[in-house]
């Protein structure tokens, strides 16, 4: 049990860094004391906004400020290097999704977490929303019967400015493409609510944007507990649509679109309950609060490394299936890239 207030830092001050800083400010048991960013102007502006010290080097920040915990909010393909460096100092880490952009780098993070014995969590904030939580509870309780079909759609619009204004967006080494940067949200919800994904077949393509990675992906999946599904994702369409999760079972159907439960009906009739968000709050607030509590209570956070790897394994299996034009067993991914 940690008795003192956690000294907290943010690594990566642009983008999601502000979400984490705002969440820390609303979290008991932690105080935001410092930030780090390779761009000194960005770090300085962030520090002024939140009243913290600032650094360009995150390791220097952790050591000098005697930090207990940090959020890593840097570009996707930098996470493994930063986790390895900071975990060696014993600091606990909440890492933005995706964990990394290759199976090898994800494995490196997992090995580091195990070796150093730190508390480690991954941000997959849509698990805190009421609709997906109801979907998971309903499937686990058998209220939908046996799942026949499970579908997720991430149909988003990303204009050219999205890729041109941020130099790492759309790159192979730092972004990873549609499956990791955008669709991971939906892929995680599908595997989390249904009990997992065993096999995948897929195709990916770069349809609209001049980038190094796919902007569109379609995958057929075999669910671990029976039934089939489809993952559809793109950043090449207009207008953008809300992320959608649909579960169809032998005894009921549930459909959720972003923040709205559009349908929930079983053989017992239309569901009347209101979906309840995570008890500590939705979005980043809930995950940051849970992470801080996990450190104080010496327990795993809501999405530890073991749980976070599952949707990443599905992504890497989808990539392999598209490259090889064959069905891929998700369980073989870790063995193949060790």
Q: How many other C-beta atoms are found inside a 10 Å radius of the C-beta of residue 19?
A: 20
Tokens of 11: 């690594």
Q: How far is the CA of 140 from the CAs of 135, 146, 228, 246, 332, in angstroms?
A: 9, 10, 17, 15, 26
Q: Given the structure tokens 């559009």, which residue do they identify?
A: 262
CATH of the domain at 209: 3.30.360.10
Q: Which domain holds residue 10?
A: 6-125+282-304
Q: How many other C-beta atoms are found inside a 10 Å radius of the C-beta of residue 188?
A: 27
Same domain, 176 and 249: yes
| Residue 241 domain-assigned (yes or no) | yes
Q: Is 168 left (phi over 0), alpha (psi -120 to 50) or beta?
A: alpha
* Each residue's pLDDT expressed in tens, for the chain with a length of 338 residues: 465 899 999 999 998 999 999 999 999 999 999 999 999 999 999 999 999 999 999 999 999 999 999 999 999 999 999 999 999 999 999 999 999 999 999 999 999 999 999 999 999 999 999 999 999 999 999 999 999 999 999 999 999 999 998 889 999 999 999 999 999 999 999 999 999 999 999 999 999 999 999 999 999 999 999 999 999 999 999 999 999 999 999 999 999 998 899 999 999 887 667 899 999 999 999 999 999 999 999 999 999 999 999 999 999 999 999 999 999 999 999 887 66
| Residue 166 domain-assigned (yes or no) | yes
Same domain, 251 and 141: yes
Same domain, 106 and 143: no
d(CA 267, CA 18): 45
Contacts of 66 (CB under 8 A, 6+ apart): 7
pTM of the model: 0.96
């Amino acid at each position: 049990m940690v008795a003192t207030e956690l000294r907290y830092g943010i690594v990566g001050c642009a983008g999601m860094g502000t979400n984490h800083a705002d969440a820390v400010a609303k979290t008991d048991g932690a105080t935001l004391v410092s930030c780090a960013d390779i761009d000194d102007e960005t770090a300085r502006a962030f520090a002024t906004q939140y009243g913290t010290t600032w650094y360009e080097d995150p390791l220097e920040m952790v050591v000098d400020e005697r930090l207990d915990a940090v959020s890593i909010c840097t570009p996707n393909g930098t996470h493994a290097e930063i986790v390895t460096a900071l975990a060696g100092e014993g600091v606990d880490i909440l890492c933005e999704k995706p964990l990394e952009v290759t199976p090898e780098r994800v494995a490196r993070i997992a090995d580091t977490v195990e070796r150093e014995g730190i508390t480690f969590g991954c941000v997959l904030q849509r698990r805190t929303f009421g609709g997906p939580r109801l979907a998971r509870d309903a499937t686990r309780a058998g209220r939908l019967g046996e799942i026949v079909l499970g579908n997720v759609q991430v149909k988003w619009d990303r204009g050219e400015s999205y890729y041109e204004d941020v130099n790492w967006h759309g790159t192979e080494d730092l972004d990873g493409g549609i499956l990791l940067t955008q669709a991971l949200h939906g892929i995680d919800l599908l595997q989390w609510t249904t009990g997992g994904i065993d096999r995948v077949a897929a195709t990916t393509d770069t349809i609209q944007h001049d980038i190094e990675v796919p902007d569109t992906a379609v995958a057929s999946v075999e669910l671990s507990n029976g039934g089939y599904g489809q993952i559809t994702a793109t950043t090449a369409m207009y207008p953008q649509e809300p992320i959608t999760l649909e579960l169809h079972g032998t005894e009921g159907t549930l459909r959720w679109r972003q923040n709205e439960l559009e349908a929930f009906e079983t053989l017992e009739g239309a569901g009347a309950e209101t979906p309840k968000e995570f008890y500590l709050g939705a979005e980043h607030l809930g995950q940051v609060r849970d992470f801080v509590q996990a450190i104080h209570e010496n327990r795993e956070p809501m999405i530890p490394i073991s749980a976070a790897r599952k949707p990443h394994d599905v992504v890497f299996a989808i990539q392999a299936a598209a490259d090889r034009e064959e069905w891929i067993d998700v369980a073989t991914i870790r063995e193949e890239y060790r």
